[in-house]
Amino acid sequence: QVQLVDSGGGSVQAGGSLRLSCAASGFAVATYCMAWFRQAPGMEREWVASLLTDDRTLYANSFKGRFTVSREKYNDTLYLQMNSLKPEDTGMYHCAARHCFQSDYSYWGQGTQVTVSS
């Protein structure tokens, strides 16, 4: 079965860094389009970054230049390196996967909490 497990979250002060991991099983990350989403309390889930099968990366403007999405090819793991963290980055981060020929994300990680204090 397809499964995504998120980890690596924690509490940091503004300006700090975290690296989130998304371990995939049941499929190869390289064959799917992957993404990270954030959901803050009382807010809609928002898209953070994507890694496409051609290794192109896309970022929401508020995260671009600070966050980096990458994959570990042979370990089927997706990463989100988060630098220069801001309090507004706080939220539950979920990785997600979709077939690249589809527009909807079919699989979701359980989420890992990121809390950034001022």
pLDDT in tens, 25-36: 987 777 889 999
Q: What confidence tens digit (pLDDT) does each residue in 10-55 have?
A: 999 999 999 999 999 987 777 889 999 999 989 999 999 999 978 8
Q: How far apart are CA 4 and CA 108, in angstroms?
A: 6
- Cβ atoms 112, 93 nearer than 8 A: yes
Q: How far apart are CA 5 and CA 77, in angstroms?
A: 9
